[in-house]
Every structure is written in structure tokens, then in C-alpha cells.
């Protein structure tokens, strides 16, 4: 008679580890997954780089637009003169060089100013009084000329 314990011991003793076919199959699956996943990951990184480039381009365009507007505003307020240094232009671009309403306007150039109506709203008021002599605003804010 065949002893079952002896037969099962032989089977288990001969099967240590994986067969060569099993290892090749696993390596093949890992290779296929890597061939699909790596290009997708690189594409994802490329999309992020493109998004960063587009955001930076938009920010540069915004700065250029603000500087262009600041230059135009500076030249309008200074009779066509260009700023001597970049600090003047930057202060105009940041809005820190906003004119206030003059207390006693008496000349034509006093009537072009920007008044802040409140914390949230800013209104630009341009009053063109060319060739008007003796125009004035009293303390209650009434024009007389």
C-alpha cells in the first residue's frame, strides 16, 4: 500500500518558490502596466507645466496692461511728460498715486481728479473747464464761476 503522508511530503518538498513561467508572466504584466502608466504620468506632468506657463503668461499680460494704463494716466496728468524713473510708474500702476479732491481748486488743472466715494466704490470724476476763469468750490462743495 502507498503511504499518503510520504507522497504529500514529496510534492511539497519539490515545490519551493515560483516557476520560471510564473515569474515571466508577472514581469510581462508589470511591463505592460508600466508601458501604459508612464506615458500617462508624463502627460499629466506636461499638462501641469502648460497650465503654469499659461497662468504666468496671463499674469505677465496683466502687469503689462496695468503698466500701459499707468503710463497713459501719468502722461495725461503730467502734460505728456514720461516718468523719470520706474517708481513713479509703479505707483500709478498700483493705484497708490490717486489724486484727491482739491480743497480750493482755482486753476483748470485742479478740476481733473479722482474722488473715492467709499471703501468699495471709487468714482472717477473728470470736469473739463477749459477757458473758465475764476472757478472755485466753496466748503460745502458748490461750484461757483
Give the pLDDT band (50/70/90) at residue 140. low
DSSP code at position 137:
E
Tell me if 93 sits within 8 A of 69, measured CB to CB: yes
Tell me if 136 sits within 8 A of 145, measured CB to CB: yes
Give the model confidence (pLDDT) of 59-109 as tens digits.
888 888 888 888 888 888 888 888 887 777 777 777 655 544 445 555 555
Give the pLDDT band (50/70/90) at residue 31. very high
Rounded to whole angstroms, the Cα distance separating 89 from 74 reads 7
Looking at residue 27, its pLDDT comes to: 96
pLDDT above 70 (res 17): yes
pLDDT above 60 (res 48): yes
Percent of the chain with pLDDT over 70: 54
Q: What are 116's three cell numbers? A: 473715492
Amino acid at each position: 500500500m502507498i503511504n499518503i503522508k510520504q507522497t504529500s511530503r514529496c510534492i511539497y518538498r519539490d515545490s519551493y518558490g515560483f516557476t520560471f513561467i510564473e515569474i515571466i508572466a508577472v514581469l510581462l504584466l508589470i511591463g505592460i502596466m508600466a508601458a501604459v502608466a508612464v506615458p500617462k504620468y508624463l502627460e499629466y506632468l506636461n499638462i501641469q507645466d502648460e497650465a503654469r506657463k499659461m497662468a504666468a503668461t496671463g499674469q505677465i499680460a496683466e502687469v503689462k496692461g496695468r503698466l500701459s494704463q499707468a503710463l497713459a494716466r501719468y502722461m495725461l496728468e503730467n502734460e505728456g511728460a514720461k516718468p523719470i524713473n520706474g517708481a513713479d510708474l509703479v505707483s500709478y500702476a498700483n493705484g497708490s498715486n490717486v489724486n484727491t479732491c482739491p480743497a480750493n481748486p482755482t486753476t483748470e488743472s485742479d478740476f481733473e481728479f479722482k474722488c473715492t466715494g467709499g471703501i468699495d466704490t471709487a468714482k472717477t470724476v473728470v470736469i473739463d473747464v477749459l477757458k473758465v476763469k475764476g472757478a472755485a468750490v466753496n466748503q460745502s462743495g458748490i461750484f461757483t464761476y
